[in-house]
Amino acid sequence: MKIPFPLPRQAWFAAFGIGLLLALGWVATTSGPLAPIKVTVTQIAKGEVAPALFGIGTVEARRA
């Protein structure tokens, strides 16, 4: 099968390059660094915060 109108090789490369740039732009804006940030919204609630510290090791003074 022959193409009815032959295009020069540069036109095919240009079309492929433009298509590739469009595909990369779409990927960058949907899942890449330019993608919108997903935000989770929740209701505020008043509560108590109990301070706690747990760990294994030694404690040393910074100044003597």
Q: What's the number of domains the chain is made of? A: 1
Q: Which of 18-53 are b and which e, b meaning 16 or more Cβ less than 10 Å from the residue's Cβ?
A: eeeeeeeeeeeeeeeeeeeeeeeeeeeeeeeeeeee
What's the pLDDT at 54? 80
What's the pLDDT at 30? 86
What's the pLDDT at 3? 64
Average pLDDT on 44-55 reads 85
Structural domain boundaries, residue 64: 7-64
Q: Does residue 62 belong to any structural domain of this protein?
A: yes
Name which of 17, 19, 15 is nearest 3 in CA terms. 15
Q: Does residue 17 belong to any structural domain of this protein?
A: yes
What's the pLDDT at 20? 96
Residue 1 confidence (pLDDT) above 70: no
| DSSP state string for 34-60 | TSPPP------------------S---
Q: Does residue 18 belong to any structural domain of this protein?
A: yes
Q: Does residue 34 belong to any structural domain of this protein?
A: yes
**Per-residue pLDDT reduced to its tens digit, 12-44:** 889 999 999 999 988 888 887 778 888 899 999
Q: Does residue 22 belong to any structural domain of this protein?
A: yes
